[in-house]
Structure 1
Amino acid sequence: MTKFEALGLQESLLNAVADMGFETPSEVQEKAIPILLEDETDLVALAQTGTGKTAAFGFPLIQKIDSESRTTQGLILSPTRELCLQITNELKLYSKYEKSINVVAIYGGASITEQARQIKRGAQIVVATPGRMKDMISRGLVNITKIDYCILDEADEMLNMGFFEDIKDILSNTPDEKSTWLFSATMPREVSVIAKKFMHSPKEITVGDKNSGATTVQHEYYVVGGRDRYPALKRLADTNPDIFSVVFCRTKRDTQRVAEKLIEDGYNAGALHGDLSQNQRDLVMNSFRKKQIQMLVATDVAARGIDVDDITHVINYQLPDEIETYTHRSGRTGRAGKSGISMVIVTRSEMRKIKAIENKIKQKFISKKIPTGMEICEIQLYHLANKIKDTEIHEEVENFLPAINDVFQGIDREDLIKKIVSVEFTRFYDYYNKKRDLNTVDSGDRGERRGDRGGNAPTSGSVRYFVNVGEKDGYDWMSLKDFIRDTVGLGKEDVFKVDVKDSFSFFNTDADATEKILSTFTDFKVDGRFVNVEVSKNPGGGGGRGRRDRSRSGGGRKDRDRRSSSGKGRDRNDSGKRRSKRSSGSGSSFSGNRRNKRKSDFF
């Protein structure tokens, strides 16, 4: 018996599960599915975004629907068009072996007449945004007076977007005897009001603590001056050559401005905010899903419903006003069992907000410093070297080798390597060489004092190391930390400030562990491959010289021979130095060939 079969799913659904490659139910699925299949009950399920909530309510709903009847039996309300379409597509995959199950999506920005026609043909399940559903009810285009099941997905997001009255009006048109299933990441007051008014003695399940953040996300903050937010954002991006991120701003104006500056500086960026038409939003989101955009700058409202599993970083360019909003932001990364990083750029006056968020999400932030120019150069240098090493030789190159060899005649191997690397290294060095330190004067002291309270000692007396394994070898910040600690025989908190890149990484230990670290990794092999560890040339290297990264999150070691496929091998266009007006833009950048993206490519 499979683990999904043990939950009580019927054979047609189990076949769909097998086709999709699901093997082990997530925690919310394991808790919710048996309850929903066993009883006709109301349910409140609290679980973070990205934990598999759609399947948790989708499988029981499909199993309970009467496919012989063409009456609308299930209504799912979701906050955005994107999430509405995503849920609809997933339900269609789940029900592929069911006969005559029809799922229809109802949302704004599309023909209301066509949507009404689809419902009239017979839709047992309707997935809708609140605004469009209320509109269709008022026009008499949809009948939900006989539904058996009503699901509120991402309930806190819908209410945060101002749909409180719409949801109340919609639910008042549904029968009292229906079952209502409410799924939410947090439980603000408005969600409690909906639960009390429209639900009858609901059962409750919680994945993790209420309102807590996902344990797969590492939370970091960087203290800078108010005018240094954008330069800090650039440095954080340059420190992570393979970044695939969402950058959150508070206003539409800031979102557009930051995206335009990133594009101007050579990054693959795009903006997502409320002033865009639906067609423009679709173009941006399609580019982001295809990883043609690596830095998506978005407002909180516009980002509702973004559901991409491979996001490596969430960057809070500005903190939100509501703590619950931060929970949703950080939940965009660290999804589907993967790890992620949520970075916050703050000023000294905003430090009190960090403590408030910590109390809410029940996780500690790590204080880090904005990397220096030389630290960025070091990371980009290693990235380029590994990229050259891993590049497959194109067979057509052979035709040009005689002429190329003539050009390089008289240059020995070592000088040739120096010249090749210097082509791109010089770009970053010239840009960052005389740039000032962006960290505020007392940010380090603040971090150390916070570290004392949070059990994280300051980094004085620590040593920074370089190791030649990274994400391509199946490691993230959690599993690499475990690997180093277990291999050397160190204590639980003796490895900290772990920064994992595509094919290499950095970590810190106290200075008294250096001899043990280096001796352990002398001629050390994993699966026949040498794992080399050496002291980093930049003691702070890799973009974080703050207090120790003593993450509270666990995380088992990954199989060492596993090769990660989530967003790897992408060439990030980087911006060590702003392009010259004379440049054609066709030359390679430090992280690969720069793609010249105009605003018109994304809007």
Structure 2
Amino acid sequence: MSTFQDLGLQDHLLQAITDLGFETPSEVQEKAIPVLLTEERDLVALAQTGTGKTAAFGFPMLQNIDVDSRTTQGLILSPTRELCLQITNELKQYGKYCKGLNVTAIYGGASITDQAKQVKKGAQIVVATPGRMKDMISRNMVDISKIQYSVLDEADEMLNMGFYEDITDILSHTPEDKSTWLFSATMPKEVATIAKKFMFNPIEITVGHKNVGSKNVSHEFYLVNSRDRYLALKRLADANPNIFSVVFCRTKRDTQKVAEKLIEDGYNAGALHGDLSQNQRDLVMKSFRNKQIQMLVATDVAARGIDVDDITHVINYQLPDEIETYTHRSGRTGRAGKTGVSMVIVSKSELRKIKSIERIIKKQFEQKEIPSGMEICQVQLMSLANKVHDTEINHEIDKYLESINELFEDTSKDELIKKFFSVEFSRFYNYYQKAKDLNIEAKHSSSRDGERSGSSTRYFINVGRKDGYDWMSLKDFLKAVLELGRDDVFKVDVKDSFSFFNTEKEHEQKVLDFFTDFKYNGRFVNVEVSTDRGGGSRNRKKGRRNDKRNRKGGNRSDRSRSEVRTSKGSSRPRRSRRR
């Protein structure tokens, strides 16, 4: 294995490396730094989160720029303000002996005027989020027409967040002869497209295998009913008393809701999502780094700036919509040579996603059971016993020993131990003594929708191709109005004037309640449980009768529906119930 001295770095950078305590370069640093120091080439580097990518592009950029010039020579784009600030701080540490170095962070949520002033002072390197950078370019607050190096960090996540047009616009203001370095944890088609468009004959560096998770992370899944998801989360936390974790949810609303429930139930928890102010986010992250927060509930976007090495668990409270995102999540643990666990709480309808993730990360999940109440009581009791056993004696207590001994004069050793540990044990025992078993059997392990129908409900709905739907648009519509997950609506079969779809049985009442007197575009949409098992021939007459009745209007109310917005911004209907 090489050393940093072998990579060709200058003495002032090596001194900073020594100060930071770095001993040997990581694999991505070992592969990227010599190339970027000696060749003016474009580069694509694929490496997981936590492998030292910032140093891999940071040291070559710091060595190659002219610190005596006030011209902006390097531009680094990152998806979130947390990551933007993290990169900025790391570059300042790497360049602490570069006299005259100015690295400026540009991100939303802070004064654009102050950021412009910092740039005008002579920022050789600008680290920016795409949205704020585009805004400053349009206001002529920053000049990137003479940059020599552009870096797209976490490129896959920037594209997932919809920054393609912003990135295109920003790079159009940069010179064609610059070197572009793209760093990404995964290589979906979108990243390959942007590499092809903005890069010329790039060198490709891969650490491990594309999209493969860290070897230090084990992967587990727990199968429960959707309604028991939160109870399962609490049990996993209680079964791991020393947990220091990130809990991932899909939406900001779910993130806030889960965090608030955990806090109410006495857990050291906090929320991290895009609706928080910068000050709130800073406070949450400070508490998390200081381990005042043991369970940080976060969205995927907000978690991009988390740079904490000793996270013990990643808990997927909900699986991400994009399977590749799972790699980012699990990469939050098992860092800096430590081991970690990635847990997934899934319902039956999500089982096929586990198989898809296994193919991507090239690892097998281990199915485990949610611990029983009594198992948790035992774990908590032994955890307390170990803490007491390992506690260093504070001799300030000596002056109180006489009074304590008098109090327990008639108490035997065994009785004293029982009394002491009952204080903590009774709390868990009283809560868990009648706790139900949350585990369910995976009666269907196949990923094919057709093999899931035994545990699901099939519905008839009186809309079809004539209403402008195909199977994908109807699935998206149902998923949005019912507020279900991506895989909770399946086996969608669209006919001319009616269709069929499935959900798990646990969602049946919710579906039927929702479509009571539900009106869309001036027409009542009728949903009923169907006896069709996939052929699409049954209930056709019923569908036509309902369609005819709905066109006439019947005796139903014509009260108009309100419009609300989906998470992607498209309008979707909200039901109105007849009083």
TM-score norm. by structure 1 comes to 0.73
Q: Which runs of 5+ in 1 are unaligned?
A: 451-603
Q: For the residues of structure 2 that align with 1:178 and 1:206, how far apart are their CA atoms?
A: 22
Is 1:153 aligned to residue 179 of structure 2? Answer: no
Shift of 1:394: 2.1
Q: For the residues of structure 1 that align with 2:414 and 2:179, how far apart are their CA atoms?
A: 72
Aligned to 1:258: 258
Aligned to 1:415: 415
Summarize deviations over 1:333-361 as a string: whole Å, max 9, x none: 11122111110000112111100110111
Contact 2:2 2:25 in 1 (8 A): no
Once superposed, which parts of structure 1, at least 4 consecutive aligned residues long, lie more than 6 Å away?
A: none
Aligned to 2:122: 122
Summarize deviations over 1:161-200 as a string: whole Å, max 9, x none: 1111100000110000000000000011221111111100
Q: For the residues of structure 1 that align with 2:398 and 2:444, how far apart are their CA atoms?
A: 57
Aligned to 1:164: 164
Q: For the residues of structure 1 that align with 2:318 and 2:123, how far apart are their CA atoms?
A: 43
Q: For the residues of structure 2 that align with 1:362 and 1:438, how far apart are their CA atoms?
A: 29
Aligned to 2:97: 97
Shift of 1:446: 6.9
- Describe the shift of the 1:3–1:140 C-alpha distance in structure 2 as closer, same or farther (beyond 3 A): same
Q: For the residues of structure 2 that align with 1:418 and 1:47, how far apart are their CA atoms?
A: 52
Aligned to 2:134: 134
- Structure 2 counterpart of 1:12, one-letter code: H
Aligned to 1:327: 327
Contact 1:235 1:376 in 2 (8 A): yes
Contact 1:148 1:178 in 2 (8 A): yes
Aligned to 2:17: 17
Shift of 1:328: 1.0
- Structure 2 counterpart of 1:268, one-letter code: N
Q: For the residues of structure 1 that align with 2:306 and 2:158, how far apart are their CA atoms?
A: 14
% of aligned pairs identical?
74
Shift of 1:309: 1.2
How many residue pairs get matched? 447
Q: For the residues of structure 2 that align with 1:174 and 1:345, how far apart are their CA atoms?
A: 45
Q: For the residues of structure 2 that align with 1:349 and 1:243, how far apart are their CA atoms?
A: 28
Higher relative contact order (Cα pairs below 8 Å, separated by 6+ residues): 1
Is 1:337 aligned to residue 299 of structure 2? Answer: no
Contact 1:79 1:305 in 2 (8 A): no
Summarize deviations over 1:205-254 as a string: whole Å, max 9, x none: 00111111111111100000111101100000001111111111112221
Q: For the residues of structure 2 that align with 1:93 and 1:275, how far apart are their CA atoms?
A: 30
1:389-468 equivalent positions in 2, closer than 5 A = 389-440=389-440, 442-443=441-442
1:53-452 equivalent positions in 2, closer than 5 A = 53-440=53-440, 442-443=441-442
1:507-526 equivalent positions in 2, closer than 5 A = none
Summarize deviations over 1:255-280 as a string: whole Å, max 9, x none: 11111110011100011122222222
Aligned to 2:6: 6
Q: Which runs of 5+ in 2 are unaligned?
A: 448-579
Contact 1:8 1:37 in 2 (8 A): yes
Shift of 1:395: 2.7
SS in 1 for 2:88: helix
Q: For the residues of structure 2 that align with 1:161 and 1:292, how far apart are their CA atoms?
A: 30
Q: For the residues of structure 1 that align with 2:210 and 2:268, how far apart are their CA atoms?
A: 36
- Structure 2 counterpart of 1:332, one-letter code: R
Contact 2:80 2:301 in 1 (8 A): no
State which drifts further: 100-109 or 170-179: 100-109
Shift of 1:379: 1.2
Contact 2:46 2:183 in 1 (8 A): yes
Aligned to 1:587: none
Contact 2:152 2:183 in 1 (8 A): yes
SS in 1 for 2:182: strand
- Describe the shift of the 1:25–1:446 C-alpha distance in structure 2 as closer, same or farther (beyond 3 A): farther
Q: For the residues of structure 1 that align with 2:58 and 2:304, how far apart are their CA atoms?
A: 20
Q: For the residues of structure 1 that align with 2:424 and 2:291, how far apart are their CA atoms?
A: 23
Shift of 1:96: 1.1
Shift of 1:2: 7.0
SS in 2 for 1:192: helix
Q: For the residues of structure 2 that align with 1:92 and 1:258, how far apart are their CA atoms?
A: 36
- Describe the shift of the 1:2–1:215 C-alpha distance in structure 2 as closer, same or farther (beyond 3 A): closer
Q: For the residues of structure 2 that align with 1:349 and 1:122, how far apart are their CA atoms?
A: 55
Q: For the residues of structure 2 that align with 1:181 and 1:430, how far apart are their CA atoms?
A: 57
Shift of 1:393: 2.1
Rg: which structure is higher? 2
- Structure 2 counterpart of 1:184, one-letter code: S
SS in 1 for 2:54: helix
Contact 1:217 1:342 in 2 (8 A): yes
Q: For the residues of structure 1 that align with 2:249 and 2:100, how far apart are their CA atoms?
A: 44
Q: For the residues of structure 1 that align with 2:335 and 2:180, how far apart are their CA atoms?
A: 26
- Structure 2 counterpart of 1:224, one-letter code: V
TM-score norm. by structure 2 comes to 0.76
- Structure 2 counterpart of 1:279, one-letter code: N
SS in 2 for 1:415: helix
Q: For the residues of structure 2 that align with 1:265 and 1:68, how far apart are their CA atoms?
A: 57
